Amino acid sequence: MSTLSRTIPTQGLHHITLTGAGRQITLDFWEGILGMPFVFEQPNLDNPDESHLYFDPGDDRLITVFCDETRAPLPGKTPIVPGAVHHIAFSVSQAVSIHLPEKMDALGIAHS
């Protein structure tokens, strides 16, 4: 029997990477609307034509976004396909959550 375990012991989530559109619209959303500080940028190591932007959601983890200036934002729902992200939920205070629908409507951001 092998001395290697069949499982990989994880210690938590380090980051999640999403596919975004252009750099500025990504900064405007994650930093400007959600208030997550922009941490740094590097090329996507798998595709040097893309930027890899890092944001701090405030919980010692990172959210990163691959940006490509040739990709336009796609309004509407994300396709339901295996491996796709269905949604991301953020913790906010009850006072903030009460006003979220009207704030998102005012910003033109679709929500459900």
pLDDT in tens, 22-39: 999 999 999 999 999 999
Residue 86's pLDDT is: 84
Q: What is the pTM (predicted TM-score) of this model? A: 0.83
Q: How is the beta sheet containing 38-44 ordered, strand by strand?
A: 15-19, 62-67, 47-55, 38-44
pLDDT in tens, 42-71: 999 999 899 999 999 999 899 999 999 999
For the chain, domains (ranges, CATH) are: 15-73 (3.10.180.10)
Q: Using CA atoms, how far apart are residues 62 and 54, in angstroms rounded to an integer?
A: 6
Q: What band does 2 get if pLDDT is binned at 50, 70 and 90?
A: low
